[in-house]
Structure 1
Amino acid sequence: MKLRLFGQKWVKLKRILTIAVVTALSAIISVSCSRDKQVLVTEIGVSSPNRRVVQTSQAGKFYIQAQNQHLKGNPQAAIASYDQAISLNPEYSAAYKGRGLAYFDTGDKQKAIADYNEAIRLSPNDPEAYNSRGNARASLGDNRGAIADYNEAIRLSPKYAEVYNNRANARAAQGDREGAIADYNQAILLEPKYAIAYNNRGNTRAAQGDRQGAITDYNQAIRLNPNFGPAYNNRGNARAEQGDRRGALQDLKQAAAIFQSQDNSDLYQEVMNNIKELGQ
């Protein structure tokens, strides 16, 4: 029985699918799958514009416009606005960083890295820029380069829980499960309500053969975020591997319902295929 939802680009498997989900206020989350049939979630880290820190210049106005366009799900329009901001202020490091994230979401990872390089050149102590470049490198399969960037982000900001989660994902992709677990633990220590880190730690525990430990983590992820589709999918996989067909079906159906409500038709269809293979 196949329970794999989709392959993970970061470990160069054949099937590739990345979903970008734009939240209203805080972050863009990229969903991908590990070699162990589980769904990993990486924080990409775009935040809503803070007008208090943007000077009331024309470049600043284009920057705010770009941020809002990106948060509304229009990265191409955001890129055009960032272009305007950068043309007015060629040393606007935040605009390069924002445009890099917009390029990332359009799938142009090389341009994203070029913009993050420029942001780092202009603001060498910006941990967000290193984190973002690490995400872009990881998405291209360069986990070693990604880890180097995450290391620098953590050096600059040791309490940056999101980066520990991202570095853990890169370590897991390299097969360093113990290192990944340590990073997920640190992310959770810094942010005890970090549902994504619980989900991802569950994946690594499942890969180690600790299915019950994995289910415990998925339970916590779901308790913290009852609409977290990947955690339901992952728990369903773990339950199926334990022989709990009824529990697996229940979780997979819940995951399908969530993906459908989010208009993630590809993920919805893949989960429905898994449900069919389970016999219902």
Structure 2
Amino acid sequence: MKLGLFGQKRVRVKRTLTIVLVTALSAITSVSCSNDKDVLVTEIGVTPPSRRAVRTSQAGKLYLQGQSQHVKGNSQAAIASYTKAINLNPDYSAAYKGRGLAHFDMGDKQKAIADYNEAIRLSPNDAEAYNSRGNARAALGDNRGAIADYNEAVRLSPNYAEAYNNRANARSTLGDRNGAIEDYNQAILLDSRSVIAYNNRGNARAAQGDKQGAIADYTEAIRLNRNFGPAYNNRGNARAAQGDKQGAIEDLQKAAAIFQSQNNNDLYQEVMNNIKELK
């Protein structure tokens, strides 16, 4: 699976450096990547349904099989398992959600939305289904539709940190920086260890010209996760914009090493090009 860039925001130094915005999606416990080369998507794990509740039926066993296949990166096999579960139990809303996420990872956002629609029809109070449909809509460029879904997710689950983060991303894309920062603040209040929320709030602050605030957020993201490449990249960007050439190079070198270790060749090469320009 290849990671790319999501929501590019630029700060001019000698050369344009790219800030990486990471979207937190509600999903099974895994890191999942969109096939769209312009989207870097990190998915945070949520508690799956009780295995005791689902293993008693054949549909439940197929659902768990689909989850396992998805975690291992085999989205196509997961789709087949979820489909078999749905054929056995057409009212299995969790299987629709699982298949929707697998379709999303395969790059088919429309099929993902169709599955989320069905999950919402069957379970109209499912905040995760609204959040996931919002992610698919945002990936298609429908940020207003995505915000409507995130609004519903937050209404149904006021402590849903990821929905606040995702709504902030959509608001930021639409130019609502203040609204985005308010949502990032709420996401951090609900989950003080959210690396993604700190990284993304840093991006919003950088876009507003608050470079010191941005650097503080990137630094906190790095403190929480020393191997989070986007935060090093973004802090390097902010430091370069402040004229701290050496600090920028050090951060970009760290980001490059992390992206290389993750076999993320696109971001690795872009960061290396930025380092050459700064030198």
Distance 2:249 2:262 in 1: 20
The offset of 1:276, in angstroms, is 1.4
Question: In the TM superposition, what are the counterparts of 1:217-256 in structure 2 within 5 Å?
Answer: 217-256=217-256
- The match for 1:97 is 97
- The match for 2:137 is 137
The offset of 1:41, in angstroms, is 6.1
The offset of 1:275, in angstroms, is 1.1
The offset of 1:53, in angstroms, is 3.6
1:175-218 per-position Cα deviation (integer Å, ceiling 9, x unaligned): 00000000000001111111110110000000000000000000
* 2:5 paired with 1:2: no
1:124-180 per-position Cα deviation (integer Å, ceiling 9, x unaligned): 000000000000000111000000000000000000001100000000000000000
- Cα separation, partners in 2 of 1:6 and 1:195, compared to 1, 3 Å: closer
- Cα separation, partners in 2 of 1:257 and 1:48, compared to 1, 3 Å: farther
* 2:180 paired with 1:180: yes
- The match for 2:151 is 151
The offset of 1:28, in angstroms, is 3.3
Say which SS state the counterpart of residue 4 (structure 1) adopts: strand
Distance 1:47 1:99 in 2: 17
Distance 1:254 1:188 in 2: 25
The offset of 1:2, in angstroms, is 2.8
Contact 1:161–1:187 (CA under 8 A) maintained in structure 2 = yes
* 2:31 paired with 1:28: yes
Q: Give the TM-score of the pair, scaled to structure 2.
A: 0.87
Q: CA RMSD in A?
A: 2.6
The offset of 1:42, in angstroms, is 5.8
- Cα separation, partners in 2 of 1:41 and 1:168, compared to 1, 3 Å: farther
Question: In the TM superposition, what are the counterparts of 1:68-217 in structure 2 within 5 Å?
Answer: 68-217=68-217
Distance 1:48 1:123 in 2: 16
Distance 2:24 2:115 in 1: 22
- Runs of 4 or more, structure 1, over 2 Å off, are 1-8, 19-22, 25-31, 39-50
Distance 1:49 1:71 in 2: 15
Identity level (%): 74
- Cα separation, partners in 2 of 1:20 and 1:30, compared to 1, 3 Å: farther
Distance 1:102 1:147 in 2: 22
- Cα separation, partners in 2 of 1:57 and 1:221, compared to 1, 3 Å: same
Contact 2:164–2:183 (CA under 8 A) maintained in structure 1 = yes
The offset of 1:258, in angstroms, is 0.7
Structure 2: runs of 5+ lacking an equivalent: 1-13
